[in-house]
A and B are shown apart, each in its own frame.
Chain A
Amino acid sequence: MKTSGFFKVSNTDSSHSVFLRDKGVSTKGIRKWLVPGLYAFGFLIWIFFFDEGLSVLSPWLPKRAALQMRTPLHMLAWHHFFIVAVSTSLAVVTSLFLGSLVHLTQNSELKSLVLSVSAIGETVPSAAVIALSVPLLGYGNLTCMLALYLYAILPVVRNTIVGMETISQSVREAGTGMGMTRFQQFLHIDIPLAAPIILTGIRTALVINISAATIGATVGAGGFGVPIISGIRVYDPLMVVQGSVPVLFMAMFADKSLRLLTSEEEIL
């Protein structure tokens, strides 16, 4: 008997269905992940073979300024990933907490407070948040991460609240009527049923943050913003492209992968 927390998956037949599902993965699944796979492949090719490609194409490219990148692209990729992952994860944790709190307390005042405060985080321009945070946090990754953190909260918190609100009244009534405690309902009904909508919010936040993280370079943060901002300063479009294309790949990979995960939730 497979057990997964409170509710268990029934035995013999479930192994049968897992078998069927595995067969499905082998044919449809691989095709499904082909596009994000291509994005990831393009990303890796770009960051590891950009210089080689550039030297091959140099006879046809315009003459460039003497200024060159000192940090290799794969290091910038790691910085970018780190900044986005930490800020978005913290924002997701905060948003899930706030969204769940609003849902569990069923307090409409708290709901409008949470939504309006997170909307402020979303509406203040990220450049302004970064500039205003410098006196407080100084130059570097932390300032950029704060801005991204504030940016990511609204989509996730809003989707958490909406996702839990849209659960059918009869499902709720059945849960209560059968003797589930409020916490059991939250764990076994609210979270799994709201998960696809919450994941959509996380996807939105992640894609925004992958792009927005490039602004961090203006206050000394790492990531792909470094070549973009430097390229703008020295009027080198190739440098801008060098930083922009991997951001594009990263954002499209995140978007497509989370879309697939969300639709998988609905199918299974």
Chain B
Amino acid sequence: MIRLTQVYKAYGAQEALRGVDLEVPEGQCAVLIGPSGCGKSTLLKTINRMVGIDAGRIEVNGKNIADYAPELLRRQIGYCIQGVGLFPHFTVHDNIAVVPRLLKWPESRIEERVKALMEMSGLPEAYRLKKPRELSGGEAQRVGVCRALAADPPVLLMDEPFGAVDPLTRERLQLAFMEIQRALRKTVVFVTHDVEEAILLADRIVLMNQGLILDAGTPGKFAGKIEDPFVKSFLGSEYPLKLLKRYFARDLSLENLPSWYEAMPESDRNLLQPDVSLKEVLSEMMRLGLRSVPIESESGRFVRVEYDNLADYLSEVSK
């Protein structure tokens, strides 16, 4: 668990953090989001003491981080940055092995760990001896994530890790990260300025502006009525539509829905499965010009999913 209490940081006259309180429960992913210069990256870097704080207290797993030497603290916290920062003269293997070697793990254990991480993140084993310049942007970022996870830290800090790659690669990386997070359940603080990324990855979205946390909550929370005009304009009027991408057809309790008795609509797509996102379900309705579509439930029955089911689900998660 990470707990920040009344954290202040100023660069000269410029106040970067103005009394921030934040709690990230164990195994959850908190996404810090806000405009450039709002203090989100500074806040993330205070957790591993890349940025020293002027006042306040930061605890990681109940221990005050000020009690640790910065280097020792950082070896216990995974860190992943936008520029990746792979060491160009090291192979992929040696890049991933940096922190375990700092922690003096035996080589056999490091080798096992590197192989397991590469497999988990979808990197072929043949890449182990490649140099970073031989990798694409997406592959390099996968190595960056593996490196952050190498010593199996309980806490992971990710500073706009997928910011510098093309949209398609970013989506793949996000899905890969979701898989990894689902399996490992790390306590993650993730910085981004991309609302869709926040919706997809966050257990909790933390919205910042001018060194303060304006609002925080589950991604669903922001689909409802928002009072703060800044939060409203930053998240944008399409927020509920973007939110649909986070949830899947199976979340609609398909077994409780009525069966589809009519003829199957003509579609150039395969029949909808329970693992499609609600955004895809809505797209399909719009494509076919229908207010309902058939979806195959887990038991193999075709059920009728109506537009109202989607709207009701959204209003439910936004409560």
Count of A interface residues, CB-CB < 8 Å: 29
**A106-150 CB contact bits vs B (8 Å, 1 = yes)?**
000000000000000000000000000000000000000000000
Q: Are A192 and B89 neighbours in the complex by a CB distance under 8 Å?
A: yes
Contact of A173 among B50, B93, B94, B111 (CB under 8 A): B50
**A3-25 CB contact bits vs B (8 Å, 1 = yes)?**
00011111101100100000000
- A14–B90 CA distance with the chains assembled, in angstroms: 12
Contact of B50 among A7, A177, A181, A184 (CB under 8 A): A177
In the bound complex, residues from chain A placing their C-beta under 8 Å from that of B98 are: 7, 178, 180
Interface residues of B in 104-143 (CB under 8 A from A): 107, 111, 128-129
Q: With an 8 A cutoff between CB atoms, is B230 at the interface? A: no
Q: Are B102 and A170 neighbours in the complex by a CB distance under 8 Å?
A: no
Q: Are B71 and A173 neighbours in the complex by a CB distance under 8 Å?
A: no
Q: Are A174 and B79 neighbours in the complex by a CB distance under 8 Å?
A: yes
Q: Are B79 and A13 neighbours in the complex by a CB distance under 8 Å?
A: no
Interface residues of B in 59-74 (CB under 8 A from A): 70-74
Q: Are A8 and B101 neighbours in the complex by a CB distance under 8 Å?
A: yes
Q: Are B107 and A189 neighbours in the complex by a CB distance under 8 Å?
A: no
- A181–B226 CA distance with the chains assembled, in angstroms: 46
**B22-60 CB contact bits vs A (8 Å, 1 = yes)?**
000000000000000000000000001010000000000
Q: Are B99 and A170 neighbours in the complex by a CB distance under 8 Å?
A: no
- A169–B85 CA distance with the chains assembled, in angstroms: 8
**B269-282 CB contact bits vs A (8 Å, 1 = yes)?**
00000000000000
Q: With an 8 A cutoff between CB atoms, is B234 at the interface? A: no
Closest-by-CB residue of B relative to A7 is B94
Contact of B79 among A1, A7, A172, A177 (CB under 8 A): A177
Which interface residue of B48, B86, B89, B157 has the most chain A CB atoms within 10 A? B89
- A168–B87 CA distance with the chains assembled, in angstroms: 10
Q: With an 8 A cutoff between CB atoms, is B147 at the interface? A: yes
- A188–B101 CA distance with the chains assembled, in angstroms: 12
Q: Are A13 and B128 neighbours in the complex by a CB distance under 8 Å?
A: yes
A247: min CB distance to chain B, Å? 36
Q: With an 8 A cutoff between CB atoms, is A72 at the interface? A: no
Q: Are B81 and A179 neighbours in the complex by a CB distance under 8 Å?
A: no
Q: Are B81 and A14 neighbours in the complex by a CB distance under 8 Å?
A: no
Q: Are B85 and A170 neighbours in the complex by a CB distance under 8 Å?
A: yes
In the bound complex, residues from chain B placing their C-beta under 8 Å from that of A69 are: none
Q: Are A176 and B107 neighbours in the complex by a CB distance under 8 Å?
A: no
- A189–B129 CA distance with the chains assembled, in angstroms: 18
- A17–B90 CA distance with the chains assembled, in angstroms: 14
Q: Are A174 and B89 neighbours in the complex by a CB distance under 8 Å?
A: no
Q: Are B50 and A174 neighbours in the complex by a CB distance under 8 Å?
A: no
B contact set with A: CB distance below 8 Å? 48, 50, 70-75, 79, 81-91, 93-94, 97-99, 101-102, 107, 111, 128-129, 147, 157
- 9 CB < 8 A contacts A-B: A7-B94, A14-B129, A171-B86, A178-B74, A178-B102, A179-B74, A179-B99, A189-B87, A193-B89
